[in-house]
Amino acid sequence: MLQNGSMRGWALALLLVIAFLLPCSACCGRRVAKYFVDPRRGLHKYILLTLICLFIPGSYFHDGLVQSFKGPISDSMHLSNSQFASLFVVSSLTGVLCSPGSLLISRVGRTSSAIAASFMAAIGSSVTTVGYVWGSLALMLLGRLLFWFGLNVLLMVQTILTYDLYKGRNLNCAMTTIVLSIRLGGSMSYPMSGPLLRSLGVLDSLWFSVMLVVAAFFSTLLFGYLFQWTATARAVRPMLERHQTPSSIELGLVRKVPKLVFVFLSGIAAIWGVVFPFEVIGNDMLQKEFGYSADDAGFIIALAPMISICSPALAPFLGSRLTQKLVAFGTGMVFLALAFFVIAVLRWAVLGIVLVGMGYAVSVCASYSSLPLVIAAVAPAELQKKMESLAVGLNQVGSGTSMIVSNLTIGIIKDHTSYRWACVYLAAVSCCGLASAT
């Protein structure tokens, strides 16, 4: 009886505690929730930034894993080097082809564009993997086309959203965090490719990476909910954005873009034209010209993207004025030019690759956070917001074109000489990028 009475007492006490906690938790839940869903709250912006950062890493991990599995994929599908390389040519081509996407983003809307682009990337990664299962290069190329078209549009949406939501030093913080997220996905694929290959095999590893791309799609859905679909967001966000000019963009606006904006975009294109083509050849260069083993070469070349993980530490040093940001941009380009000089002339490969990572982190963070200020300095006030979105699309054209040109040029140089002269070419392109910042 005593035991039963004791149990009834504990049960009654538990019910009383629950009865007390439920209304308290509901009240606290409402108070906490408003920080998540209210666009006027500072925390809301950084929750959105977290979700924006999650748009990309899974896709870059998938892309890096496909690149890392060149040997097994080529062997099982009997692909030549040029056939396998064709899987990566589409990344640069889609960057050029999807540049009008900035017009589409303005008309369709940022949230809808992000969701659609992420869904396309998820479908593309799945089709690529199915193409590998069926041994069909054509199907893999179709998947890569869908994947990179979606990813490039998603990159544009990510940049436009960042420009819309963050200004001044907050933009520095946001942009450096985004660079961290992008490079984290790509850099982790290199060291994880070996363990994944041994534990899961090529196919299951690819499906694992597809799951990460799908997870990114769900992050766009959650972003859309918090950014636009909650009752609070629907009520408050139109008031916050009422002073912004309409976002529709006409093709004729291209003729009104000041020449200085094109010059600055050419500097950003130079970054893409040296860093990513170098990372493609870096592993092979380290093995053939510096004598590193495959494992050591993979680790060393991964240093470049891994250094970019420290990008948020750069935010306080980028400044808030255009002149400060341009100095940082120029400093990054100096690092890149010096990096390829060190590799080509002094033959210090590891130091050069470290400098490549530093140069990329500094230059890309400074340049992307400078773009709105450059436009504000030279464009009419009524066109500035439209030109921001248009410039994001033009940047895709320039960056994609520069990667295509650099990849082709490096291939020609390698066929006739060595990687040393390819690094000389990359140093020259870096100097051209430096000129655009001065």
Per-residue pLDDT reduced to its tens digit, 374-415 = 888 888 877 777 787 788 888 888 888 888 888 778 878 877
57 or 243, higher pLDDT? 57
Q: How sure is the predictor about 339, in pLDDT bands with cuts at 50, 70 and 90?
A: very high
Q: Judge whether residue 130 has pLDDT over 90.
A: yes
Q: Per the domain annotation, does 30 fall within a domain?
A: no
3-class secondary-structure state, position 243: coil
Whether 136 shows a pLDDT value over 70: the answer reads yes
Q: Are residues 254 and 212 in the same domain?
A: no
Q: How far is 32 from 26, CA to CA, in rounded Å?
A: 10
The answer to whether residues 279 and 210 belong to one domain is no
Lowest-pLDDT choice from 100-104, 186-190, 287-291: 100-104
Question: Is 220 domain-assigned?
Answer: yes
State which amino acid sits at residue 348: W
Q: Quick one: CA torsion of 118, 121, 123, 127, rounded to 10 degrees?
A: -170
At 231, is the pLDDT very low, low, confident or very high (cuts 50, 70, 90)?
A: low
Same domain, 143 and 291: no
* Residue pLDDT, tens place only, 172-215: 788 888 888 887 877 777 777 778 888 888 888 899 989 999 99
Inside any domain, residue 375? yes
DSSP structure class, residue 253: G
- Note whether 259 and 192 are same-domain residues: no
Q: Which range has the worst mean pLDDT, 49-63, 92-106, 188-202?
A: 92-106
A 10 A CB-CB count for 6 gives 10
Q: Given 204, 220, 244, which residue is the final one in a domain?
A: 244
Judge whether 34 lies within some domain: no
- Do 282 and 310 reside in the same domain of the chain? yes
Res. 28: pLDDT tops 60: no
Q: Is the pLDDT of residue 105 over 50?
A: yes
Residues 164 and 309 placed together within one structural domain of the fold: no
Q: Are residues 159 and 145 in the same domain?
A: yes
Q: Which helix (H) or strand (E) holds 48?
A: helix 42-53
Task: Tell me what pLDDT residue 70 has.
Answer: 75
Same domain, yes or no: 296 and 148: no
Residue 147: which pLDDT band, with cuts at 50, 70 and 90?
Answer: very high
Does the pLDDT value for residue 30 go beyond 50? no
**182, 216, 244: which is the final residue of a domain?**
244
pLDDT at residue 355 greater than cutoff 60: yes
- Specify whether 211 is located in the same domain as 357: no
Which of 104-118, 144-158, 337-351 has the least mean pLDDT? 104-118
Where residue 127 sits, what CATH number does that domain have?
A: 1.20.1250.20
pLDDT-derived band of residue 230, with 50, 70 and 90 as boundaries? low
Tracing tokens 């099982």 back to the chain, one arrives at: 76
Q: Given a cut of 70, is residue 371 above it in pLDDT?
A: yes
Query: Which one of 244, 265, 294 terminates a domain?
Result: 244
Q: Are residues 71 and 105 in the same domain?
A: yes
Let me know if residue 2 belongs to a domain. no
Question: Contact 393/261 with Cβ under 8 angstroms?
Answer: no
Identify the pLDDT of residue 90: 74
Q: Considering the chain, what is the average pLDDT of its residues?
A: 79
| Predicted pLDDT at 80 | 76
pLDDT of residue 239: 46
Predicted local distance difference test score (pLDDT) of residue 169: 75
- Measure the CA–CA gap between 357 and 277, rounded to whole angstroms: 13
Q: How far apart are CA 236 and CA 250, in angstroms?
A: 28
Q: Are residues 161 and 84 in the same domain?
A: yes
Split into its structural domains, the chain has a count of 2
Alpha-carbon span 114 to 219, nearest angstrom: 10
Domain-located, residue 10 = no
Residues 200 and 322 in one domain: no
In a domain, 11, yes or no: no
Residue 137 lies in domain: 40-244
Please state, in angstroms and rounded to a whole number, the distance separating the CA atoms of residues 280 and 236.
Answer: 46
